[in-house]
Structure 1
Amino acid sequence: MEFSMIFTFSTALLLLLSPGFGKTGSPPSLSPTPAPAPAPDYVNLTDLLTVAGPFHTFLGYLQSTKVIDTFQNQANNTEEGITIFVPKDSAFSSLKKPSLSKLTPDQLKQVILFHALPHFYALADFKNLSQTSSTPTFAGGDYTLNFTDNSGTVHVNSGWSLTKVSSAVHATDPVAVYQVDKVLLPEAIFGTDIPPTPAPSPAPEIAPAADSPDAKSADTKSAKSSSPSSSPDEAASHRTIFSLGNFVLAISSMAIMVVFL
C-alpha cells in the first residue's frame, strides 16, 4: 500500500514537470522587433568648409549674413537635405566687376542663398536636372540655376556667370557640397551681361614670295598701271607737227618744179 502511493506521487510529479503538460499546441513564435535605422551623421558645415579647402571667403559671407544657420538647419533637420555650390577663394579675388562690396545687405544675402538648392543632389542627378528649364534655389523667386551635363561634367549657368563643378567636397545624403570655379551671380541682381569670350585674333596676311607666280603677276600689273599713257594734248601736238612737215615738203616740191621749167 505504501509502495503504491509512492509510485502514484512520483508519476504525478513527472507529469507536472513535463514541458507539454496542460498545453494543447506549440507556443507561438515571437518575431524580433526591428532595430531603428541609424540616424545620418550630423554635418557641421563650418567645420567642413574650414577643413575641406580654400573656402574661407565664402564661409565668411555665410557667417556674416547668418545664412549658415539656414543651411545648417536644412542639412540636419529636414528630409530633403541640401546641395551647396562653394566658390574657391580665388573665384572671389578674381571678381573685379561687378563687386560684391557695392551690394546692399539684402542683396548680398540673396547672392549667398543663391549658392544652394533645398534638396540633396548626387552628381548623377544633374543629368535629369539638365532637362528642366530652371532649378529653384534657396533665394526663391527668380533666383534659379540652369544645369547641363556634358559627358559627366556639370556646368552651371546663373544667368550672369557660367562655371562648372570642379570637384565634390562632400556628397553623402543628406548633404552635398560641390566646388565651383566662379561666384554664382544671379541674373535678378546683375542682369544678363555675361562677359563674352574674346574672339580669336585674325591671322596676319602673308605676302607672296618674290619669285612666285602671284608675285610676278602682281609686279606686271603694277608696271602696267605705273607706266604713263599718252594724253589727248600730246596726241594733238604730234598731229600738228606732222601736218606742218607735209606742208613744207609740198612747197619744196613746187619750187623745184618751177626752177626746171
Structure 2
Amino acid sequence: MEFSRIFMISCSVLLLCSSLAYVQAASPPAPVAMSPTTTPAPAPAPAYVNLTYLLSVAGPFQTFLDYLESTKVMDTFQNQANNTEQGITIFVPKDNAFKALKKPSLSNLSDDQLKSLILFHALPKYYALADFNGLSAKGPVSTLAGGLYTMNFTDDSGTVLLNSGWTRTKISSAVHSTDPVAIYQVDKVLLPEAIFGTDIPPTPAPAPAPDISPAADTPSAESKETGSSPKSSPSNSSSHRILNLSIWCQLVLAVLGGSVLLR
C-alpha cells in the first residue's frame, strides 16, 4: 500500500515535469530587442545660380546680356555654372565699353565669330581674385571659346590685368564671387587675337598743347631777343650805304684812268 502511494506520487511528479518541459518547448522565443538604425540625411542639392538675374541687378550690363541671349551663349554659361564641378568665371564689360568700341566694329563679325567673342569672356573654372596671382605664372589661359582663344593675366600688387592680344584692361570690381560662379567687371570689351589678327591699332598720341597767344601787354620772344641784342639804328644803316657807294665810285674812276693811260 505504501509502495503504491509512492509510485503514484512519483508518476504525478514525472507527468508534471513533462508538461512543463513541453510548454517551454512549444512557446515561441522572446523577441530580441533591436537597436534603431539611423538613415543618413541626403546631401542638400546645390543652389541654382541665375546668371540673368545677377547681371540684371548688378550694373549696367544690358548690352552684354543682349549678346548672351542673341548668341545663345547664356545656355552654355548656365550649364557650366550649375552642372559642372569646375564652375565658371565671367568677365563683363559695362554698356559704355561697347559704346566706346568703334574700331573694330562688332557689326562686321559673322554669327560664329560673335558667338566666339562672347564665349571668350568666360573661363571654364571658378577663380577667386586671389587665384589670379597663380594664373599670371602659367602663361596663356584657355577660355570657353576654345584652345585658340586664350588670355594672359598679370597680378600687379592686387590689380588683375588682362591681355587678350587686342585688348589690355583690368578687373575694376567683383560683381559676384561665390563658388561656383565668379563675375568680374572689366573696363573694355575683350577682343580675341584669333578673330582680329595681330594688327593691333596703335595707341592714339596725346593731343598737342594749344598755342596760347601772348597778351597785348606781354613782350613776345622776339621782343625779348631784340632787347638783349638790339638791331642797328637807321642812321647806322644809312652811313653803311654811303660808304659802299663811295667805294664803287673809286673803282669806276680807277678803271677809267687806267684806260686813258693805255691810250
TM-score, length of structure 2 as denominator length: 0.67
Aligned to 2:205: 198
Alignment of structure 1 residues 164-243 onto 2, 5 Å: 164-192=170-198, 193-202=200-209, 210=219, 217-219=225-227, 221=229, 223-224=231-232, 234=245, 236-240=247-251
Give the match's secondary structure for 1:98: coil
Q: Does 1:88 align with 2:94?
A: yes
Give the match's secondary structure for 2:146: coil
Task: Give, as a single letter, the amino acid of the residue that structure 2 aligns with 1:56.
Answer: Q
TM-aligned CA deviation for residue 37 of structure 1: 5.6
Per-residue CA deviation, residues 66-113 of structure 1 (Å, 9 max, x unaligned), is 111111111111111110011112222232222212211100110011
Q: Which stretches in structure 2 are left out of the alignment for 5+ residues?
A: 1-37, 255-263
Q: Distance in 1 between matches of 2:125 and 2:80?
A: 9
Cα distance change of structure 1 residues 59 and 220 upon mapping to structure 2, 3 Å threshold? closer
Match for residue 110 of structure 1 among 91, 111, 116? 116
Contact 1:115 1:137 survives alignment (8 Å) = yes
Give the match's secondary structure for 1:142: strand
Per-residue CA deviation, residues 163-222 of structure 1 (Å, 9 max, x unaligned), is 221211110011101111221111111234245143252575998x7499x955545646
Task: Give, as a single letter, the amino acid of the residue that structure 2 aligns with 1:167.
Answer: S
Aligned to 1:156: 162
Per-residue CA deviation, residues 134-154 of structure 1 (Å, 9 max, x unaligned), is 111111132111222223222
TM-aligned CA deviation for residue 38 of structure 1: 4.4
Q: Distance in 2 between matches of 1:58 and 1:136?
A: 21
Give the match's secondary structure for 1:80: coil
Name the Cα RMSD after superposition.
3.7
Q: Distance in 2 between matches of 1:225 and 1:58?
A: 75
Cα distance change of structure 1 residues 83 and 231 upon mapping to structure 2, 3 Å threshold? farther
Q: Distance in 2 between matches of 1:231 and 1:130?
A: 83
Cα distance change of structure 1 residues 205 and 94 upon mapping to structure 2, 3 Å threshold? closer
Aligned to 2:55: 49
TM-aligned CA deviation for residue 238 of structure 1: 4.8
Q: Distance in 1 between matches of 2:79 and 2:50?
A: 10
How many residue pairs are counted as aligned between the two chains?
213
Aligned to 1:74: 80
Give the match's secondary structure for 1:199: coil
Aligned to 2:17: none
Cα distance change of structure 1 residues 232 and 186 upon mapping to structure 2, 3 Å threshold? farther
TM-score, length of structure 1 as denominator length: 0.67
Contact 1:159 1:194 survives alignment (8 Å) = no
TM-aligned CA deviation for residue 50 of structure 1: 2.2
Aligned to 1:134: 140
Q: Distance in 2 between matches of 1:211 and 1:94?
A: 42
Aligned to 1:121: 127
Give the match's secondary structure for 1:189: helix
Q: Distance in 2 between matches of 1:142 and 1:115?
A: 14
Q: Distance in 2 between matches of 1:55 and 1:136?
A: 24
Contact 1:160 1:185 survives alignment (8 Å) = yes
Aligned to 2:24: none
Q: Distance in 2 between matches of 1:220 and 1:194?
A: 49
